[in-house]
Every structure is written in structure tokens, then in C-alpha cells.
Amino acid sequence: MKSGLATWMIVLMVLLGLGLCLAFYLYTPDKNLVTLYPRYLRAKTDFIDVAGIRLHIRDDGPRDAPAVIFLHGFGASLHTWEPWAQALTGQEAPLRVIRFDLPGFALTGPDPSDDYSDERSIAVISALMDKLGLARANIVGNSIGGRIAWRFAAAQPTRVAKLVLISPDGFASPGFEYGKASEVPAMMQLMRYSLPTLMVRMSMAPAYGDPDFMNDALLERYRDLMLAPGARNAMLARMAQLVLVQPDAMLKSIHAPTLVMWGEKDAMIPFSNAADYMRLLPSATLISYPKLGHLPQEEAPADTVVALRKFLLLDGRGTGSATSFK
């Protein structure tokens, strides 16, 4: 008996030691802002205090030009819009391009209120517009940023000139029901302790029509900014607080001219959802991209920004056939 107990204890100690070694190897601490700022902060002045949050923001283009506010998706940052921003501000008749890290993401960091509901996001956008002196703006959103964009348009219609939804979130799907907070999977919970590069690569690959599109530099940016201080806890809090609202009535109430852009190879939010948006939005045009995925602004910025620019600068209602914007 003593011999068996001793053997069991030795095995247990070996397994515990291996577990500790593995945990030590996989443990991923937050990155220090001293490391992140030189790489991802363009200027120290790119912060603005809004609604009790210090937002990381970039505001480019003529101040008297039509303003466009960009809202990124889950795990992303304002950097996802950089190619579009350069194109929209660097041509004749440039636009004013405003993009920021949503609360809880990247260099903006956690919201001190710990409120990551859509209602809080809508309040932050409204406060930002007030801070910048914008009565109205064009709103562009991708993924969860798309959901926040159309919910903002429904809640504050007088503040939205035109609306652009890029593979937007908002309809129920497995694990995400209407009126019920979703459960954060245990594997996602582990993200707060460990974020291996391979894990980020595997989670991001389905976002692109070409899974090999994500190069090392893009992968490093996504992972670095997910490791910003407090970002992982905030992202998990946002997931835990998400309560989807049945979207039909809200979408039907949106009369702002709307452009829906969607990659047909989107493996994160299915392209088939585009039909639901087109059925419900009163003034919408759909442009689909057969070879692109969830992030057309990253995967094919030069091609997709042409349609965006034409739509935003078109006088009148801003609707028409998809080919009129290509």
C-alpha cells in the first residue's frame, strides 16, 4: 500500500510539474503600453476624453468636409480602416474620416463603467459627435461595429446622414439568442490567460476569403492590440453582456440611405444574412464580393473603397443599383 501510494504521489507530482511548465509556457501577460505606443499610436494627441473614456482616435481630412465615422469589429482596432482612410482623405473632394478604438479594445482600453452594452456604445458615439461638433455624420460599421451602427441609426435617426454596413452582426445564431445574455465558451475564457500566436491565426483565418491573406505583420498587429492592458477582460465582458434585440422593427425604421457590403466567402457571419437586411431596410443597396470574406476593407481596400466613396458623395437619397457604385 505504501509503495502504491508513493508511486501515485510521484506520478501526480510529475503531472503537476508538466502542467505548471505548460501553463508557464502558454501564459501570456498583457503588453506594456510603452511597447505598444511606438508601434500603434500615431501621435500623443490622438486621445480624446469622451463620456468618461479616453478614446484612441484618428481624425483626418478637412473639418468642413462630410464626416464619416468608422466602427470596427470584435478584436479589431481603428487600424483596420487605415487603407480606406488614406484613400478617402487623399483625393480631390476629400472626406473627414474619424475612426477610433471602441471601448474595451486596443489602445482605448477598458471602459471605467464596465458597461459594454450596445446602449453604452450608442451613448459614446453620440457624446463623441457632440465633442467634435458634429450634428450629423455618415456612419460605417463592420461586424459588431455594423450592429452598433444600425442600432445608432435606429436610435438617433437625425444624426445619421448615410449608413454603411459591412458584413454586420445582429441576427440570432447558434449560441446567440434574442433577449438572452450569451454564455462565453470556456475556451474563450482561457484567452484572458493565454493568447498564443497560433490561436490568433486560427481564429482570424476565416475572416478572409483567402485564408493565406493574413501575413505576419497583420497577425502581429491583431495579437499585440488584443494584449493591450485590460483588453482581453473587456472583450470577454462585452461578450458576456451581449443581449441581442429582435432587429426587424429597428431595421424597418431606418430611412437613411444605406449601403450593405458583404464578402460572399465570409465564414464568420454568413453572406445569406444580407438577404435579411435587404428585406428589412427601406433604402438599401447591396454590393457583394464573390472572392472576399468578412473584412473587405483589409482584404481588397483599393477595390472596395471606390464603391464606398461613390455612395458617400452621391447627392440625394444615395441609393441605386449595385453597379452604379462600382
**Total count of domains within the chain:** 1
In this prediction, residue 10 carries a pLDDT of 43
Return the C-alpha cell found at 317.
Answer: 437619397
In this prediction, residue 227 carries a pLDDT of 97
In this prediction, residue 320 carries a pLDDT of 56
| CB 37, CB 98: distance < 8 Å | no
In this prediction, residue 174 carries a pLDDT of 79
Cell 445582429, residue?
Answer: 170
Indicate yes or no: pTM above 0.85: yes
| CB 124, CB 94: distance < 8 Å | no
**What sign does the CA torsion over 272, 275, 276, 281 have?**
positive
Going from the C-alpha of 57 to that of each of 47, 80, 209, 230, 269, the distances in angstroms are 6, 13, 29, 18, 27
Give the H/E segment covering residue 261.
Answer: strand 258-263
The pLDDT tens digits of the residues spanning 41-91 come to 999 999 999 999 999 999 999 999 999 999 999 999 999 999 999 999 987
d(CA 255, CA 261): 17
Within-domain flag for 10: no
Residue 22, pLDDT > 50, answer no
Q: Taking each helix axis from N to C terminus, what angle separates 216-226 and 197-204, rounded to the nearest 10 degrees?
A: 110
Within-domain flag for 239: yes
The pLDDT tens digits of the residues spanning 175-190 come to 788 998 888 887 788 8
Residue 303's domain comprises: 33-325
Q: Please tell me the least confidently modeled range out of 149-158, 188-197, 215-224.
A: 188-197
pLDDT band at 24 (very low <50, low <70, confident <90, very high): very low
Task: Say how many C-beta atoms besides its own lie within 10 A of residue 16's C-beta.
Answer: 10
Report strand pairing: 53-60 vs 96-100.
Answer: antiparallel
Task: Provide the residue type at 300 as one letter.
Answer: A
d(CA 203, CA 223): 11
Within-domain flag for 5: no
Report strand pairing: 258-263 vs 160-166.
Answer: parallel
Angle value at C-alpha 35, between 29 and 36, nearest 5 degrees: 90
Within-domain flag for 19: no
d(CA 188, CA 272): 26
Within-domain flag for 90: yes
Percent of the chain with pLDDT over 70: 89
Within-domain flag for 27: no
d(CA 139, CA 242): 21
Cell 488614406, residue?
Answer: 86
Within-domain flag for 8: no
Mean pLDDT of 162-177: 92
Mean pLDDT of 89-104: 93
Return the C-alpha cell found at 58.
Answer: 484618428
In this prediction, residue 319 carries a pLDDT of 55
Cell 452621391, residue?
Answer: 314
Q: What CATH number is given to the structural domain containing 222?
A: 3.40.50.1820
**Closest C-alpha to 250, from 313, 160, 316:** 160
Within-domain flag for 38: yes
The pLDDT tens digits of the residues spanning 293-304 come to 999 999 999 999
Length in residues, the chain: 326
Residue 165, pLDDT > 80, answer yes
